[in-house]
């Protein structure tokens, strides 16, 4: 797959929508998609609890759950222990980074991709975004 490029010819831009439940992340993700942001395939659908839909990719959720479970945690773990320095052994970190990179390579070839990720517990422990996807433009 040819990597996507941003409009200025640089690396693609991925905007990660992060936030607590019921904070408007689904609505924001949908609005960004209507403004031209590409969404990953296989979005979680609507439920009675969120009839407009969650706008989060099922594969990303599943990957996060697998990583967290493997590390003895879950998305409901309030301890933030996985964000501490040294929480991951080097081999575990390398495995997580490889899995995340494999997922990111499945994203649509678009200059601007929006990813809603409500399961962010393990992201900081994996290292910088540059290490996970070096060709990604990440803006705070």
Residue 127 and residue 96: Cα distance in Å, rounded? 10
If you average pLDDT over residues 64-77, what whole number do you get?
86
Q: Does position 77 have pLDDT exceeding 90, yes or no?
A: no
What are the tens digits of pLDDT across the range 101-125?
A: 888 888 888 888 999 986 654 455 5
Confidence (pLDDT) at 120: 58
Q: How far is CA 72 from CA 63, 67, 134, in A?
A: 14, 9, 28
Number of neighbouring beta carbons within 10 Å of residue 76: 8
Residue 53 has which token pair? 């839909």
Confidence (pLDDT) at 43: 93
Q: Is 19 exposed, middle or buried (0-12, 13-18, 19+ CB in 10 A)?
A: middle
Q: Does position 92 have pLDDT exceeding 70, yes or no?
A: yes
If you average pLDDT over residues 54-83, what whole number do you get?
86
In this prediction, residue 136 has a pLDDT band, given cuts at 50, 70 and 90, of: low
Residue 17 is classified by DSSP as: E
Reduced to 3 states (helix: H, G, I; strand: E, B; else coil), residue 117 is coil
What are the tens digits of pLDDT across the range 10-61?
A: 667 888 888 877 889 999 999 999 999 999 999 998 999 889 889 999 999 8
| pTM confidence score | 0.78
Closest among 102, 112, 108 to 133, alpha carbons compared: 102
Number of neighbouring beta carbons within 10 Å of residue 130: 10
Reduced to 3 states (helix: H, G, I; strand: E, B; else coil), residue 49 is coil
Q: Does position 138 have pLDDT exceeding 50, yes or no?
A: no
């Amino acid at each position: 797959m040819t990597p996507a490029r941003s409009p200025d010819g640089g690396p693609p831009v991925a905007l990660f929508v992060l936030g607590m439940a019921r904070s408007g992340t689904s609505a924001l993700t949908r609005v960004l998609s209507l403004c031209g942001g590409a969404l990953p395939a296989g979005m979680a659908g609507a439920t009675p609890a969120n009839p407009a839909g969650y706008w989060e990719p099922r594969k990303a959720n599943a990957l996060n759950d697998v990583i967290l479970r493997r590390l003895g945690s879950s998305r409901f773990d309030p301890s933030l222990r996985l964000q501490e320095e040294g929480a991951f052994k080097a081999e575990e970190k390398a495995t997580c980074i490889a899995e995340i990179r494999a997922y990111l390579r499945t994203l649509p070839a678009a200059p601007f991709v929006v990813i809603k990720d409500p399961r962010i517990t393990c992201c900081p422990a994996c290292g910088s975004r540059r290490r996970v996807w070096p060709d990604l433009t990440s803006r705070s």
